[in-house]
Structure 1
């Protein structure tokens, strides 16, 4: 696992020594992604930089790496798990000779040999840049599910690209500016759901896409789109066996490394299934102070049965709040998923013991694991029987109360396409605009973001519609963003065996009845784990990662942190802080639950302070 940086500048815009100086400074800003080594390549057209975390072929495999014909140069972040098979194919069919044992060399020669179709041959997680020295073109690509990030921008005659946005700060042509169009959407989704990031004119290459830059024109294309080919005749026992075999094989591939591979472990089925198959020497768990959620006891019990070692980290409220600015820095963009903070601490603990861990991300999106997938058929019936005005009256009467049954009525107030945005719905359009200053209010609705995905998924049932939306928005922009950024902040490689193209091939044919019913989520997936997991792990309901912020925020010292942030001059540039303080007062008084809304604003302000106000902090974090 590594990180790369690079840029192409107009002819004569920068001298050779200036390029060398800039590319090294850009690399320094992502040193956490690769503390084991660095490498650079520059010529009259391009500058490439690389930071390495050595996992495979520890002695060789340095980057940037040049192809055997001398024409192409690559920088690559990720792992190609089937590189040995691809290497054998190239050796047998093209008599190719390899200089290293690295997957980087195999990736490069496969692209050189097969061109664009090579992207569908890779089994792994990746983002990479290949420079064609002859045609002076840049080719960049990102894996199908968006596990590894790739950002790019063009400013003042320089086309820049990197594994993290913060690398652009070292380039003299980079202009730092908040993207006004993204802020309101962030307040709704808790992440930036559009290709343009919170930094104006900085874009993320979307999952399953590649680009070609010829020095003037940027051509971005898709090579993968998740499509369901539902097999309604599929036998459930047969489906469960296929799931087991696919996951088992994927775990085998994800264990390939020249260093020890550990595993994150919660009390749920997802990570437990991976751990039971992989049997790593070390597992890692996290929880909160006594009286709050803690997955440690279940993890310890599970590891005791398997005779594995489990290390546990307890995160206090003080730990949490102290880490928020650092978490926002490493996230690149403001990110308000509360679980990113404990994940940062979990990754730090793991990195003290191993270089690589496996984790359970993707199982919920592939196999129907979220509670919001329950009752889709019943919801359709409810919306047909009860008139929309009555549904809205019922929803308004429920208010902020979080009560089983009532949540179903709230979720089904509007049609799916008008109400579902994924696993976090922080503020609706009116609430977001109500706290924004006029300069940042927007007529763009969350429906404008979700509509194109629902249109592509119109032929599916409601469960698959939701899963399709989550695969394209929630998974890459929230779940995988925090997984990559929090692990790499600690120089730890995080691998996700469920997000494998062969596992996807099995999950994409499952009919709705094998995903969820009124009683259980991930129905057939759970069945597939029965032969290897204890029954209580198979049947245990999904807990997520319930950070106790609602209770913490009722303590004066933590509420005061928010109040102090809202007093800062830059807070008033973006928000009506009088309304924010009213929300905070109501939350502290127990009148309404505003903790998620308030934290989303607080996380943005921490991000803004780090990147735009107290820039010395960015130096301290590196």
Structure 2
């Protein structure tokens, strides 16, 4: 819907500074702009018009203008909240979903966030009490960054909006690099910019008298209930359809991203937009276009698709990393960038299938193979010591099997990506960047909240807090907003979560399939083949690209640069690159992760 930025604190030429900050995020809201300034606060808003196109500009005010709002997102239960607030005497000036936040804050205070159904990041400046109230949605669909520097609180949808402010100090956070090499995304709460933090998902923040206070207002809880399978399948289908209807609210055209997986296929089949959008590569193993086109034809929908050219992809890597704000090496960011660009030619809003795997148990890592099930029949007294020993072994065949079979997820599962082992990452780095939180220190606080849960639930819980927020949703927001298009994710909905939380493990993962009950529900809307098709997941042929001389030489120029020498043992990273180029081993993801960091660093710091 938009982007916002602002600050609390005395600043010379505050209106001019605010305008410069807003210009950094004009891609998030090219349709219009709005500002508010007083002697304490400056709030800036860039608008992408979705609802109430004529009267929906921000900042928005309450009746006596004592409270000011800037907001990014959509509130899907705003009509219900609006009616409640009108009955309580509040007077509305627009028909936007945004305005329920300002009146809702007047009526309910900080408890407002518990009543919201939607995706959001917003700021309310309470002028009477000189207090800022900010909040982020329960799943972390919309980003929110903040920093307190030189007596000034800066906040916004993107870190790059802070760069023009005279009180902002741009400095690399040395502790962020080592964890990134393992996780592939910026996993720490403090970003790659020292002193800049993410407001965590499902949190609100207050700022008053120079003090920042964070509060968590929700956490996912899995509470399985024994229900007949057909009942739970029907309930999933009903809640998904209702959520998709709610996510259609718009005064502009709505389309759908479509891959070959069941998640986006389910959304498209229920939504039935005029157009679906798909991208892929010329190699059939790295393209979902054929499957997407087939399903679209069956649904009577036009599929708009595009084959991506690797030269064009490489040309855009710097822009992609700039738009991400922090380095991010999930290769799927690349096709997602071009997919959003493709869709923007026809629509302003798209629905997509993110979140179903985390809620309903869709990842292969959650599953247990037949061999593993047999192995786990051995006493734990035998398996556990073997798992401990295996963790200390070099990379040998069978190592991961023994670890997963003998140890709990707390000791091996960190999410859906593990690029470098922690020790290997440390050995690659120069001394300044070796000191950082360990992988164990990062995952332990999350696992500690679900000590009594089964292994599948533990893994889902970790993915909901780390992988989903800082990989899946971050790239979805940044790559769509790079092209001024709003992406909505109907599976990540308060009501859908209530249903997903009731599923016993046997309806999530079993000997038949992952996401078992969800696939059966999708089958009510999809042809059987589409409902059971395995996810490919935006495959990108980076391992082939790195073996081509022109791309190898480009990466090599970065690896051998003086810039790289600040961070890495260049002999070691060149060995990774050369071994891959020569076909000795597949180091594609490792090479790509280093390469993406160097591109990002060059853009922001050189």
For the criterion TM > 0.5, the same-fold answer is yes
Q: Deviations over 1:333-378 (max 9, x none)?
A: 0001110110000000001110000000000000001010011883
Query: What SS is found at the alignment partner of 1:170?
Result: coil
Which is further off, 58-67 or 480-489? Answer: 58-67
Q: Which residue of 2 aligns with 1:30?
A: 25
Of residues 20-29 and 424-433 in structure 1, the stretch that sits farther from structure 2 once superposed is: 424-433
| Offset at residue 409 of structure 1 (A) | 5.2
Q: Does 1:211 align with 2:205?
A: yes
Q: Which runs of 5+ in 2 are unaligned?
A: none
Is the contact between residue 335 and residue 604 of structure 1 (CA under 8 Å) also seen in structure 2? yes
The one-character-per-residue Cα deviations of 1:88-143 (angstroms, maximum 9, x if unpaired) are 1112x313331111111112111211112211111100000000010111111000
1:70/1:390 CA distance change after superposition, 3 Å: closer
1:442 and 2:435 are equivalent in the alignment:
yes
The one of 300, 307, 318 equivalent to 2:311 is 318
Residue 384 of structure 1 and its aligned partner are, at CA, apart by 2.6
Does the 8 Å contact 2:237/2:524 carry over to 1?
Answer: no
Kindly state the Cα deviation for residue 144 of structure 1 after the two structures are TM-superposed.
0.3
Q: Among residues 459, 478, 481, which one is paired with 1:485 in the alignment?
A: 478
Distance 1:478 1:551, change over 3 A: same
The alpha carbon displacement at 1:292 in A equals 3.5
Match of 2:569 in 1: 576
1:169 aligns with 2:163: yes
- 1:56 paired with 2:51, answer yes
Partner deviation per Cα, 1:384-431 (whole Å, 9 max, x = no partner):
375456557778999488xxx996556446432111100001111111
Check conservation: 1:155, 1:174, Cα contact below 8 A.
Answer: yes
Deviation at 1:315, TM superposition (A): 1.4
Identify the match of residue 380 of structure 2 among 372, 384, 387: 384
1:76 match? 71
Residues 344 and 398 of structure 1: CA distance in aligned 2, closer, same or farther (over 3 Å) = same
Residue 6 of structure 2 is aligned to residue 6 of structure 1: yes
Would the aligned equivalents of 2:390 and 2:399 in 1 still touch at CA under 8 Å? no
Q: Distance in 2 between matches of 1:516 and 1:539?
A: 14
Equivalent residue number for residue 287 of structure 1 = 280
Equivalent in the alignment of 1:278: 271
Contact 1:383 1:412 in 2 (8 A): no
**What 5-or-longer segments of structure 1 have no aligned partner?**
614-622
Is the alpha carbon distance of 1:398 and 1:268 closer, same or farther for their aligned partners in structure 2, counting shifts above 3 Å?
Answer: farther
2:505 aligned with 1:512, yes or no?
yes
Report Cα offsets for 1:498-533 as digits up to 9, x if no partner. Answer: 000000000011111000113411000001112211
1:563 aligns with 2:559: no
Distance in 2 of aligned mates of 1:353 and 1:372: 37
**Pairing 1:283-432 to 2, within 5 Å after superposition:** 283-375=276-368, 378=373, 380-381=376-377, 384=380, 387=383, 390-391=386-387, 399=395, 408=401, 411-412=404-405, 414-432=407-425
* Distance of aligned partners of 1:593 and 1:384 in 2 relative to their CA distance in 1, 3 Å threshold: farther
Deviates more, 1:469-478 or 1:221-230: 221-230
Instruction: Give me the whole-angstrom Cα distance separating, in 2, the residues matched to 1:263 and 1:545.
Output: 15
Q: Deviations over 1:282-333 (max 9, x none)?
A: 1101111234411111111111111111100211221222221111100000
Q: Is the 8 A contact 2:380 2:406 kept in 1?
A: no
TM-score by length of 1: 0.94
Q: Name the SS of the counterpart of 1:103 in structure 2.
A: coil
**CA 1:137–1:440 in structure 2 vs 1: closer, same or farther (change >3 Å)?**
same
TM-score (norm 2): 0.96
8 Å contact from structure 2 (residues 257, 351) kept in 1: yes
Secondary structure in 2 aligned to 1:192? coil
Equivalent residue runs for 1:185-224 within 5 Å: 185-224=179-218
Change (3 A) 1:163 1:380: farther
Shift of 1:25: 0.2
Distance 2:360 2:112 in 1: 27
Aligned length: 603
Q: Structure 1 residues 460 and 484 mapped into 2: Cα distance closer, same or farther (>3 Å)?
A: same
Q: Distance in 1 between matches of 2:389 and 2:154?
A: 51
Structure-2 change in CA distance of 1:162 and 1:595 (3 Å): same
Once residues 342 and 189 of structure 2 are traced to their aligned partners in structure 1, the CA distance between those partners, rounded to angstroms, is: 32
Matches within 5 A, 1:139-158: 139-158=133-152
- Structure 1: distance between partners of 2:331 and 2:407: 27
